[in-house]
Each structure stands twice: as C-alpha cells, then as structure tokens.
A and B are shown apart, each in its own frame.
Chain A
Amino acid sequence: MRHHETPQPPTVSRRALLAITLAVAGSGATACGSVDDVGERVALDQWNLFGGGDGARMIEMHQRYAAEHPGVDLRATTYAWGPPFYTKLAMGAAGGRGAAVATVHVSRLKGLAPGRLLDAIDARALSSAGLAASDMERTVWDKCFVDGELYAVPMDTHVLVNYYNREICAAAGVLDAEGHLRETHGVDEYVALLKEVKAVTGTFGTSLDTNAGWRPFWALYRQQDGELLFGDGDFQLDESKALAAFDVMRRLADEGLAPRDSNGAATSANFVNGLGGVVQVGNWEIPVYQKAGLDFGVAQFPDFFGNHRTQGDSHAYVLPHRRDRHQARLDESLAYIAWMLRNGITWAGGGHIPAYLPVAESAQYLTMLPQSEYRDAAANVQFDPDIWFSGSGARMQDDANAVFQGLYAGTQTPETALAGFTDILRTLLRIPDPT
C-alpha cells in the first residue's frame, strides 16, 4: 500500500527532470525565435503606469497601433502606479537597458535625473516624426524642458476638477438655467453652496478624498499666488497663504460638509451613491462615474480666492536612457509617440485634456461631454514645485498627504499642519540630492 515510497533509481529521476526542462526550454526557445524572425520587425518596448480606465484606453490604442504597424513589435508593460513604476524605470535606465519609450508625470521630470536616466529628445527628429512645438499646449510643453533640453513629449494635462451630481444639485437649486453648476466666488459663497447641497444629501456637501490633501492644498495656495521656492538648502513658503489654504480644508470637514476620513475608493463610492452632491477630484474619475450611470457635470475647480487655478500634472512620453540606442529604434519610438498623440481622442475620453492641439481643438473633442466642459482648466493648471523630491507619487506629496489628512480628521489645526509641512520640507532638504 505504500508502493509509491519505493526508491526510484536517482538516474532515472534526474534524466526525467532534464527531459522536462529541456523540453520546456526547447519549445520556449523556438517560440521566441519565431517572433524575432518574422521579417525585420523593430521591437518597441513601452512601459507605463496606467491601470483601470486609463490602462484600458491605452490597450485599445495599442491594439489599433499594432494593427496599423505590422512592422513594429510593440510590447507594452504596465507596472503599478507610483513608486513601483518609477523604481523599475530608474533601474532599467541605470542598467542601460530600459524601455524604448515610457510614460511619466511631467512633475517627476527633474527627479528622474534628465541627462542620466532620461535621454534628451532632438526637437528636429521629433518634428520630422510629425510633431511640431507649435502643436503643443504651451503651459505643459514648457514643463518638458530641463536646462534648455527637451526630455518629454506631453500627452495630456490632468487636473483637479469639480464634479456635480445633476439630480442632487437641481434639487438643491444650485444649477443655473443651462443646468451648469452655479458659479461662486470666494470661500463663503462656495461653503454656502455646499450647505445647500448637504441639505439634499443629508450626509456631505462634497465627498473629498481626505487622503490626498496635497492636491487641493496646492490649488488653494496657488489661487492666492503663493510660491514655494527652493534654493541653497532652504525654502520660501508664504505662511499666511498656506494657513488660509489649510483653513479652507479644515473648515469643510469641521462644518460637516466633507468627510473626516475617506480614501480614493470611498470617495468615488460616496459620490456615486449620492452621499455627496459635488466632489473635487481628478478628471480621471470620469469613466468611473460614467460606468456607474451617474448623471453628472464637470466644472473647473471652484474659485476660492479669486480665480480657477487648480492643481494638475501631465502624462508624458520619455526616452529612458539606453547604452545602445539604435537609430531605427529611436525613429520608431518617436513615430509611435506621434501616432499616439494624433490619435489622442481615445485618451481624451478618459478625462485628460489633450496636450496635442490638433486633437484638443478638434470638433470631436469639443463635442465630447463632459470632457470638454472644463477644457479651459488646461490654462489654469498649477504644477507641483520644481524640485527632485516633488511630483506625483514622490515623497513630498506622500508625506504631505499624511499630515494634511489630519486637517480633515480634526487632529491637526492649520498651525500644526503648517509646522508638520515645514518639518517635511526641512527633512527632505537635508537629504542630499541624488540626481
């Protein structure tokens, strides 16, 4: 009954193992070989950080690209958003065998050691691929240069916007005659609007993401012309303007108009379920709300301090450093970027404002709702401060978010939040710049 325990001659087993592994290895080798042997296909690796709706759109575009370019073997890879992606990008570039093309946030450009980890892009080569500087949205395009060299080609501008649930807002009487959210000026007017909305929902006015406080803070601070400048191991922050911004955040939660604790997923759910009638989050949530079948509109980030400036960033293509960049591969990479921008209308469906003007000004985009409702926000975008530890998914944002959530939770006052934030800046400034 225990025959299976009979010792087998080891030689047989080892041979079996060898046979299995050789078989697998052999079949794999031939499979790989056949891919490279088909004609003289140019291999094009593309790395990105898009999951969810953005990821699905990118795959859709890649399928069309592949169908139109049988000579290119496009291999796209998605790494988890934030540090996992940026770490692999940097390590690949440091090893000199990074991807041919990758996507990044423009706010991260300076922290990615342009010139070392990123290769500069020749503007003439780019224009011969069909992309001229004049076709680019000016604000974002200017952010793609470091020390006079072009390191990125922008895909889009994405910003904090103001979503409103039409049904709830109509019941609250805060829509204008055309069904748009009523324009407000200043903090008090907006708070008054939220109170009317809350009277309908019974729970929140706005269902903010309290774990991502950096974005609203930066918008509020920049609406007051606040600057955050770095130099000589020190920084300049306008404390009274920062306090004013923090006070708005605190006030929304203290007056019961915003949740005290809500992460990204809960924020979406709260808005979809009607617990809040408006919400200020990124434009990338549009597909989520559309999928939920919600009747909603999108306005620019509210005017708290006299204008509609809003925090934002831009997705852009970069060329990670390679020790052997063949001309054919480079040409194909630039051609790929140009194709993706020209066909950016699909990407715009995800809520991002196209950086490529021929698409941004096309009739197709202008009639796309609600996407084109807030297209003016591209001119109001405020990028994160210009220093290596700043930008989407980088340390300053992460650390600031951890402090700012206390403003909503009621564990921080504007004064303690300011102290916490300046501590973060000092700590980060003490770290030697590794780029």
Chain B
Amino acid sequence: MARSTAGAREDSGVRTSTEDSDPPVEAPPPAIRSRPVSWAGLWFVLPFAVLFAVFLLWPTITGFAYTFTDRSLTGAPAGYIGWSNWTESLTDPAVWSSLWNTLVFTGLSTPPLVLAGLGLALLTARARRLGWFLRFSFFAPFVLPVAVVTMIWVWLYQPGFGLVNDTLTGLGLTEVGWLADERVAMISVVVTTLWWTVGFNYLLYLAALQGIPREIYEAADVDGASGGRKLWSITLPLLRRTTVLVLVLQLVASLKIFDQVYLMTRGGPNFATRPLIQYIYESGFTGFRIGYASAISYLLFAVIIVFSVVQFRLFSREEV
C-alpha cells in the first residue's frame, strides 16, 4: 500500500510530501497551518458514513447479537439462547472439517500462485518483444467472471471426453476423476484458481521488475556477473517488498475461498472440498439457522483477523 499512490503521484506532477507517512488519523504536522474547524466537512463524510453504518457496521453488530439467539430464516419466533450456538459450533465436526479444507486450500494455492506469478513475470521481463501477448495471456483469465472460469474447467476436467483426460489417455495414462475423486478434487480446484487469478500477482511482479533501474544490471554486467547471479543477487532481493505484498493479499484472499468450489464441486465429493464459507451459507440459508451461521461467521472472522495480525507482525518487522 505504501507504494500505492507513488506512481500515480508522479503522473499528476504533485510533489511528494512527508505528510502521508504519518499516521493518517493524527493532526497535520506543525509545518502546515492548521485548518479551521467547522461542521462543513461532516457533510462530505456523511453519505458514505450512512451507508457504512447501515450496510457494514449494523450487520457486524446484529450478526454478533444473532450468535446468542436461535433466530431462523423462516422468521419463526426466536429468543436468547446464551452461548449454545458457540459451544455447538466449536464441537461441530463439519465446522472443523470445512475450516480444515479452507486452510488446506490456502496452503496448497498460495505457494504456486506466488511462484508462478514471479516466474511468468520474469519470463515476460526477458521476452520483451512478446510483451503485449504475454500480458494478455496471463492476465486475461483474471477478468473473467468466476462462473465462466468454472464452466470451462468443469468441461476440461470432464471424464471420458474432457480435454485433460483425453490428453492423459492419449499419452497412455489412466484417467483421473478430477472432480469426482476425494483425494484429487481440491488439487483440481487449486489448479483452476491458479489459472484464474495468477495474473494479478504476475502484474504486481511485472511492475516491480520494470521499476528496477537498468543501471544496476549494467553495473553488474561490467563486473561480469552471470544471468543467474544477477537474478539471485539483484532481482530477487529487490522484489522482496512485492513478495510481501503479494503474500499478504494472497493469504487473505485464499481464506475467503467459496465461489469456484461451490460452482465446481458444491463442496464435494463427500464434503472433501467444502470451505467454511459454504458451511456458513448452508447452515444459515439451507438449514435456516441464522443464529448458528452467524456464530460460524464470527469464527471465520476471528481466523482472518488472527492471520492478518500475525502477518502484520511478521512482515512489518521484515520491512524495517
């Protein structure tokens, strides 16, 4: 985020000030004359604040309140039931198995998404004459709606006459039940996700690579450094900040997995791919239990917050 507006700022010819490295909430640095206090500013903030209150703050509060009730989707009379949604959710094997699936997905998808993004960006940076074609190929899937992605991949994974299995049998190998086999289905989802979303990480890396001054490489050339040496000693260290950014964004995005799993396997076979968000959806909307689903939502919320805090601790130390 820190680099976020830097490039744009140069475009618009605005000078960089020290102001934005300060905590945004605090008063402006002493060098700047203080602004007159008036209520006028409130009117600018208010429209957003109202929507924020209605569609984010309020559901966050009511959602938490629901966890202590047996509120039902059907509108049946509901009441306070204490902690029983919480105790039930903590002892519900389906909560743990779907949380586990979410973590497995995160663990399986993050490394290839980061490494492939880096690898493809390095290729693109070298093969400059193919630039437009490469950027289009690797990034285009990212702009596709998820349902299009899953339709295409379910077709590719099709038993019998799917392209993947047909290629396998053509090579004399046996078919794989990509979406039907409990042991393989999650990997199939990861592969699809890799294809779909790697373009984003790829572009982040590509931009970072293009931001490395050529003079550094030229100086290394003078010293007679080999290509591999330059990659290892110059490029990768300079990409560190980008890697941190990519990792942070990727981990949190992976924890929110739902769309492609629901559309490809509906969480199956035999719940082997069902992520926690799907179980929230099923508990609340299929099973009508708004209170219980809210409790599970808050468990997921807690997991995401813990991940974010740990990451922040780890990486903020790293960045200094």
B76, A83: Cβ atoms closer than 8 Å: no
A434 touches B70 (CB 8 A): yes
Query: Cβ of B111 < 8 Å from any Cβ of A?
Result: no
Per a CB cutoff under 8 Å, which of B81, B266, B282, B287 touches A434? B287
Chain B, Cβ-Cβ closest to A435:
B74
Q: How far is it, in angstroms, between the C-alpha of A153 and the C-alpha of B286 when the chains are bound?
A: 23
Q: Are B286 and A4 in contact (CB under 8 A)?
A: no
B273-320 interface with A by 8 A CB criterion: 281-282, 285-289
Chief secondary structure at chain A's binding surface: helix
Q: Is A31 an interface residue (CB 8 A)?
A: no
Q: Is residue B72 contacting chain A, with contact meaning CB distance below 8 A?
A: yes
List the B side residues contacting A431 at CB < 8 Å.
287, 289
Closest to A1 in B: B129
List 16 additional A-B contacts (Cβ < 8 Å) besides A83-B282, A87-B282, A431-B287. Answer: A2-B131, A5-B132, A86-B286, A87-B281, A87-B285, A90-B288, A91-B73, A91-B285, A94-B73, A116-B75, A116-B76, A117-B74, A431-B289, A432-B70, A434-B70, A434-B289
Question: Cβ of A61 < 8 Å from any Cβ of B?
Answer: no
**Closest B residue, CB atoms, query A114:** B74
CB pair A90 B70 closer than 8 Å: no
Given contacts A4-B132, A432-B70, A434-B70, contact A113 B286 (CB under 8 A): no
Q: 0/1 per residue, B71-96, Cβ < 8 Å to A?
A: 01111100001000000000000000
Q: Are B286 and A434 in contact (CB under 8 A)?
A: no
* Contact indicator A434/B285 (Cβ below 8 Å): no
* A84 contacts partner chain B, Cβ-Cβ < 8 Å: yes
Tell me the complex Cα distance, A3–B129, Å.
Answer: 12
Would A116 and B74 count as touching, CB distance under 8 A? yes
Least CB distance, B202 to chain A, in whole angstroms: 18
Distance to closest chain A CB from B222 (angstroms)? 28
Q: How large is the interface on B (under 10, 10 to 19, 20 to 34, 35 or more residues)?
A: 10 to 19
Chain B residue numbers with a CB within 8 Å of A435 are: 72, 74, 76, 288
Chain A interfacial residues counted at CB < 8 A: 20
Residues of B within 8 A of A (CB): 70, 72-76, 81, 129, 131-132, 266, 270, 281-282, 285-289
CB distance from B161 to the nearest CB of A (A): 15
Cross-chain pair count, CB within 8 angstroms: 50
- Sort A-B residue pairs by CB-CB distance and give the 8 closest, nearest first: A113-B74, A434-B288, A434-B72, A116-B74, A87-B286, A434-B289, A94-B73, A87-B285
Interface centre among A90, A91, A402, A434 (most CB of B within 10 A): A434
How does the 8 Å CB contact mask read for A87-121 relative to B, with 1 for contact and 0 for none?
10011001000000000000000000100110000
Bound state CA distance, A327 and B200, in angstroms?
52
Instruction: Tell me whether B288 and A113 are in contact (CB under 8 A).
Output: yes
A434–B78 CA distance with the chains assembled, in angstroms: 9
Among the interface residues B70, B81, B288, which one has the most CB atoms of the partner chain A within 10 A?
Answer: B288
- Looking across the interface, which residue of chain B has its beta carbon closest to that of A95? B73
Is A90 within 8 A of B73, CB to CB? Answer: yes
> Mask for A169-207, Cβ within 8 A of B = 1, else 0?
000000000000000000000000000000000000000
Chain A residues contacting B281 (CB-CB under 8 Å) are: 87
* CA A84 to CA B262, docked complex, whole Å: 10
Mind listing 11 A-B residue pairs with CB under 8 Å? Answer: A2-B131, A5-B132, A91-B285, A94-B74, A113-B72, A116-B74, A116-B76, A402-B270, A434-B73, A434-B288, A434-B289
Least CB distance from A336 to B in Å reads 26
Which of A1, A4, A5, A113 is the most central at the interface, judged by chain B CB atoms within 10 Å of its CB?
A113
Known contacts A2-B131, A113-B76, A435-B72, A90 near B289 by CB under 8 Å: no
**Chain B proximity mask over A394-435: 1 for CB below 8 Å, otherwise 0:** 010000001000000000000000000000000000011011
- Closest residue of chain A to B281 (Cβ to Cβ) is A87
Give the docked Cα–Cα distance between A90 and B282 (Å).
12
| Chain B residue contacts of A86, Cβ below 8 A | 286
Could you tell me the distance between the alpha carbons of A91 and B293 in the complex, rounded to whole angstroms? 14
- Interface flags, A1-35, vs B, CB<8A=1, else 0: 11011000000000000000000000000000000
Shortest CB-to-CB span from A3 to chain B, Å, is 10
Contacts of B72 in A (CB 8 A): 113, 434-435
Contacts of B286 in A (CB 8 A): 83, 86-87, 90
Residues in B with CB closer than 8 Å to A116 are 74-76
A395 to B281, CA, bound (A): 15
B132 touches A434 (CB 8 A): no
In the complex, which residues of chain A have a beta carbon less than 8 angstroms from the beta carbon of B289? 431-432, 434
Chain B residues in 8 Å Cβ range of A434: 70, 72-74, 76, 287-289
User: With the chains together, A84 CA to B268 CA distance in Å?
Assistant: 14
Q: Which residue of A lies closest to B282 (CB)?
A: A83
Contacts of A94 in B (CB 8 A): 73-75
| Neighbouring A residues of B270 by C-beta, 8 Å | 402
Residue in B closest to A113 when the chains form the complex, CB atoms? B74
Contact with B along A220-248 (1 / 0, CB 8 A): 00000000000000000000000000000
Whole-angstrom distance between the Cβ of B92 and the nearest chain A Cβ: 10
Contact A84 B266 (CB under 8 A): yes
Of listed B132, B270, B286, residue having the most chain A CB within 10 A: B286
B131 cross-chain contacts in A, Cβ below 8 A: 2
Residues of chain A lying within 8 A (CB to CB) of residue B75: 94, 116
